[in-house]
Amino acid sequence: MRVPVIIPCILSGGAGSRLWPLSRSLRPKQFLPIFDGESLFQKTLRRFPAGEFAAPIVIANANHRFLVGEQMGEVSAANGEGAIVLEPVGRNTAAPVAIAALRAAEADPDALVLIAPSDHLVRDGDRFREAVRAAKPAAQAGKIVTFGIQPSEPHTGYGYIRLAGAAGGVRPVEAFVEKPDLARAEAFLKDGNYVWNAGIFLFSARTMIAEFEQHSPEILASVRRALDAATNDLDFLRLDADLFRAVPDISIDYAIMEKTDRVACVPMDPGWNDLGSWSAVWETFDKSAEGNGSLGEAIYIESRDNLVVSDAALVSVVGLDNVMVVATKDAVLVAAKDRAQDVKEVVERLKVNDRREVREHRRVYRPWGWREEIATGDRFHVQEIEIQPGGAMSEQSHVNRAEHWVVVSGTLEITLDGEARLMTENQSAYAPVGTRHRLANPGRVPARVIEIQSGAYIGDDDIVRYSDADVLGAEGDCGWD
Amino acid sequence: MRVPVIIPCILSGGAGSRLWPLSRSLRPKQFLPIFDGESLFQKTLRRFPAGEFAAPIVIANANHRFLVGEQMGEVSAANGEGAIVLEPVGRNTAAPVAIAALRAAEADPDALVLIAPSDHLVRDGDRFREAVRAAKPAAQAGKIVTFGIQPSEPHTGYGYIRLAGAAGGVRPVEAFVEKPDLARAEAFLKDGNYVWNAGIFLFSARTMIAEFEQHSPEILASVRRALDAATNDLDFLRLDADLFRAVPDISIDYAIMEKTDRVACVPMDPGWNDLGSWSAVWETFDKSAEGNGSLGEAIYIESRDNLVVSDAALVSVVGLDNVMVVATKDAVLVAAKDRAQDVKEVVERLKVNDRREVREHRRVYRPWGWREEIATGDRFHVQEIEIQPGGAMSEQSHVNRAEHWVVVSGTLEITLDGEARLMTENQSAYAPVGTRHRLANPGRVPARVIEIQSGAYIGDDDIVRYSDADVLGAEGDCGWD
């Protein structure tokens, strides 16, 4: 019998607001480089080395497509035409699992698919892969194998799976259990036959499609329609927006796992943490003797068990215990660590006022690279811009502002009213009010530019675009709803 | 008998670190615009309206001279040649009192001098001036009148004055009392004959000089020598650095007040607060129903009695009480409010490492205006610069970096290798590596410029200066020692 490959399917549609203000809806948790300088998304990609695993299918929100592309490139993750499926809106987990099964089945209905969320931390990749290997025969035999995490504490924030049979290897599942109260969670921990439901599954494409047909045919049918009408765009496969919006917004647990009789479970203990809040992040950090964990520069004076995450400023904590401080350039969060979940309340309040701090950082990613606002004042606006090799901004002009550029590194092609010229390090150029201009990077290394906009009116809406390379978000919605 | 004028002498030599990180040694507490957009220094100047008072003598640290000049200008405080006496180093309070007496006596030995610290808040200027009027006859009659603050609580952080005689008007002083413990402070409050020593005094120049001659002749003599060797520089009178360093570093209380038999006291209650810590600042702020006081944008969720001061970022506080958050662009302080005094410990630790966050903000003041670092990266450095009308930076050149300027508002004269030209809004200029350049503002309004330094090396030390308009701190020392 032919041994089918395992196709990792990385689910990256989430936009968790619980790590605000470091996470923003346009740069959610899975893309934050908070562990050894890499993001959880990148760590997830690295969990599936070529050879043992096929190239991954990534399913992501359309608004994150440049982040996905850039972060995959940084870890040299293999991809190919249509390997990144873009969801125009978030539709919970049933839809992406169906997408993964259908995409895998196109090449081989017996292919095995491993569903892996992109926003969890897994410390021990070897143990994780051991568990996957242990699950493989059962998956080939038609089981949907879920991987349960051995509980280390009576956590009330996760769903549990009650296992049957004897300890070790692949075990039958007796039931999926909703988040318990503390007394029940303690009983579960003592009992020993309960594991955390981490949303990680292995199955053959054929099996999952059959189960969808039996238990949730409307999801499968609507996902098929959105896939059939999808369009290819280099590495991206863009799902049809209207058709995908019609897909039921349901979790895979509810759609399939709680209904199927094919489920089995491999318990594992790979150093898993869902990083569902800042206090969970604190748990994963290396800590000082006083229990303080930091990312960025921090000073503690008579303070214990605190978390500091800072992307720029030096943070000092004096005489406080169990506090978290998350400092970004435009928003600082200071909270009791046991109130970490209530960060959502702050985000809710900001959303009501449509505050930018919810949506994006000062640095925003674009198809051609990124731009970061570094200063705004009366009559001026300064941005740092990086254009990737081959990248080009849209051609545009402005009625009220002039723009100046200073090339800091790399080479830039600037086109002014149709006339192109090359500029390199330390050179500068200038587009007077009304001039059509376009910046592009024809080189092999990123080009870094400082842009100064100056004029009596410097609002974002003073722009006439002659192409759309720069438009982000017109098609998608990744708001924290 | 001729009625002598009262010359307010504003003591501005302090460099209190207790309001760090908003205060820095180069921009201490008295210059922070935290009350109605004005600084305590400016509010102190306004306390002495012309007519009732003569033009003030300001005694300040030489490193703060541009701040002093700018802030006096903003409130249209009268000054004149030599009206701002610059101390090359801090020498406690005896020296500036002697300076004030000697300077006042030059014009009129019978002139009355009112010593007023510049870093206290006085809410009720009318009551303050009433007390001064009440003290005037005694001062004319040769008393040194100190103004005692009626205590509102058993504060252990202030020295006390024990009064003799009956309540009301000018009272004899029985003793100066060191900072008490809580039990004694409570007894003082109950007793009713104790007031806080606020360091505010009224005396005639003749009286104070006589008392110095009697009790601390070496201070008077050394101050006289530093004054005799002082040099005039427009509004500034620069004390001779070496001679002033030789002046004993002693408080006026110790040098005179505790020894003289001429002391008297006028008790007053003018809404005084010495703002000696962030918790004292919190006391003076308007607060929400939950007791939260903010300067800058803050969101509180289930949080009470907190203080937020932010110069840029939105600060959110969740589930915390009695915490203070002070957020600046490069340093964030989060502390228990009852540990406000321990901010000094943070500053001490930073000083050991010669950290810039102790010394200055991203915005630093220069004789010609200010510059603020807005972004630094690999190979570049972006600054916002404001040059005052008539201001000129030093002529300089750099070996490793080019500089670009974009004029955002106003008019700039830029001289490149000796050739001057005018640039106005939206125009830009460029100094290649090695070019001698000089920026000046020949106009009538401030000129705002964005400067981009680019090059392989952008360190501060890559500079050749051809004039010294830009050199700050070479002569003074205002460190927090």
Which chain B residue has its CA at the smallest distance from A402's CA?
Answer: B426
Candidates B311, B450, B451, partner chain A, best to mutate (most A CBs within 10 A): B450
Contact criterion met (CB < 8 Å) for A349 and B299? yes
For the ranges A252-261, B190-199, B471-480, the lowest mean pLDDT is seen at: B471-480
Residue B459: pLDDT band by 50, 70, 90 thresholds? confident
Q: Residue B358: closest CA among chain A residues belongs to which residue?
A: A314
pLDDT of residue A222: 97
What is the least distance, in Å, from the CA of B34 to any CA of chain A? 20
Confidence of residue B472 (pLDDT cuts 50, 70, 90): very low
Helix orientation angle between A94-107 and A205-215, rounded to the nearest 10 degrees = 130
The token pair at A359 is 């949506």
Instruction: Tell me the per-residue pLDDT of A391-447, one tens digit each, with 9 for 90 and over.
Output: 999 888 888 888 999 898 899 999 999 999 999 888 888 888 889 999 999 999 999
Stretch A84-105: mean pLDDT, rounded?
Answer: 95
Query: Rounded to a whole number, what is the distance in Å from the CA of A48 to chain B's nearest CA?
Result: 34
CB contact under 8 A, B316 and A335: yes
Cβ contacts (< 8 Å) between A315 and chain B: which residues? 331-334
Chains A and B form CB pairs within 8 A to the count of: 203
* SS3 assignment, position A169: coil
For residue B161, which amino acid is it?
A: I
Q: Using a CB-CB distance cutoff of 8 angstroms, which residues of chain B are in contact with residue A448? A: 377-380
Give the best residue of A306, A314, A352, A371 to mutate against chain B (max B CB count within 10 A): A314
The CATH class that applies to domain B363-465 reads: mainly beta
In terms of CA atoms, which chain B residue is nearest residue A345? B301
- Six token digits for residue B2: 């001729």
Residue B377: list chain A partners with CB under 8 A: 384, 408, 448
Higher pLDDT, B112 or A453: B112
Distance from CA of B120 to the nearest CA of A (A): 25
Pairing of strands B428-431, B401-409: antiparallel
In chain A, the residue whose alpha carbon lies closest to the alpha carbon of B345 is: A301
Instruction: Report whether pLDDT(A280) > 50.
Output: yes
* C-alpha to C-alpha distance for A353 and A5, rounded to whole angstroms: 49
Name every chain B residue with its beta carbon within 8 A of the beta carbon of A425.
379, 454
Q: Which pLDDT value is given to residue A316?
A: 96
Q: B67 CA to chain A: closest CA distance, Å?
A: 22
B375 vs A contacts (CB less than 8 Å): 374-375, 382, 384, 450
pLDDT at B7: 96
Annotate A357-391 with DSSP letters as a single string.
HHH--SEEEETTEEEEEEEEETTEEEEEEEE-TT-
| Cβ–Cβ < 8 Å for B373, B362 | yes
Distances (CA, A) of B380 to B403, B430, B454, B456: 10, 14, 4, 8
Per-residue confidence at B235, pLDDT binned at 50, 70, 90? confident
pLDDT of residue B476: 39
CA–CA gap between residue A202 and residue B382 (Å, rounded): 52
Question: Are residues B364 and B472 in contact, defined by beta-carbon separation less than 8 angstroms?
Answer: yes
Which percentage of chain B shows pLDDT scores above 90?
Answer: 65
User: Could you confirm whether domain B6-273 is CATH 3.30.70.940?
Assistant: no
Q: Residue B262 has what pLDDT?
A: 96
B333 → closest Cβ in A316, A375, A433: A316
Contact B444, B387 (CB under 8 A): no
Topology agreement, domain B6-273 and domain B363-465: no
Give the least confident one: A139-153, A207-221, A284-298, A362-376. Answer: A362-376
Which residue bears the tokens 């001289």?
Answer: B415
Is the Cβ pair B349, A299 closer than 8 Å? yes
For A297-314, what is the mean pLDDT? 95
Q: What is the pLDDT of residue A481?
A: 38
Q: Is the pLDDT of residue A296 over 50?
A: yes
Task: Choose the closest CB to A318 out of B343, B374, B448.
Answer: B343
Instruction: Check A301 against B402: CB less than 8 A apart.
Output: no
How far apart (Å, rounded) are the C-alpha atoms in residues B146 and B266?
6
Confidence label for B255 from pLDDT (cuts 50, 70 and 90):
very high
Report, as an integer, the average pLDDT of B442-455: 90
- Answer for the pair B25, B15: CB distance below 8 angstroms, yes or no: yes
E-strand stretches of B256-320: 263-268, 272-273, 293-295, 298-301, 307-310, 314-318
pLDDT in tens, A351-380: 888 888 888 778 887 888 888 888 777 788
Are residues B424 and A402 in contact, defined by beta-carbon separation less than 8 angstroms? no
Q: In what order do the strands lie in the sheet with A412-416?
A: A419-423, A412-416, A437-440, A396-397, A464-465
CB nearest A301 (choices: B345, B428, B452): B345
Residue pLDDT, tens place only, B417-426:
999 999 988 8
3-state secondary structure of B77: coil
Dihedral sign for Cα atoms in the order B248, B253, B254, B255? positive
Say yes or no for a CB contact (<8 Å) between A332 and B349: no
In A69-193, the DSSP E strands lie at 84-87, 112-117, 121-122, 144-149, 160-163, 171-177
Residue B381's pLDDT band (cuts 50, 70, 90): confident
Residue B210's Cβ-count burial label (10 Å; 0-12, 13-18, 19+) is middle
Q: Which of A316, A332, A428 sits opposite B404 (nearest CB)?
A: A428
Residue A208 pLDDT:
98
CB contact under 8 A, B375 and A382: yes
Decide if B430 and A432 are in contact by the 8 Å CB cutoff. Answer: no
- Taking an 8 Å cut-off on Cβ atoms, the answer to whether B315 and A334 are in contact is yes
Which pLDDT score, from 0 to 100, does residue B408 have?
87
Residues in chain B: 481
Running DSSP on this structure, what letter comes out for residue B20?
T
pLDDT at B93: 94
Among B339, B408, B423, the strongest candidate for a mutation testing the A interface, having the largest count of A CBs within 10 A, is B408
A299, B346: Cβ pair inside 8 Å?
A: yes
Distance between CA atoms of residues B36 and B66, nearest Å: 22
Cβ separation A313–B334 shorter than 8 A: no
User: For residue range B95-105, what is the model confidence (pLDDT) as tens digits?
Assistant: 999 999 999 99
Q: Which residue has 């002697």 as its token pair?
A: B98
> Which of B316, B324, B333, B350 has the most A C-beta neighbours within 10 Å, making it the best mutation to test the interface with A?
B316
For chain A, which residues make up each domain, given as ranges? 6-273, 285-351, 363-465
| Secondary structure element (H or E) that encloses residue A279, with its range | helix A278-284
Residue B477 has what pLDDT?
44
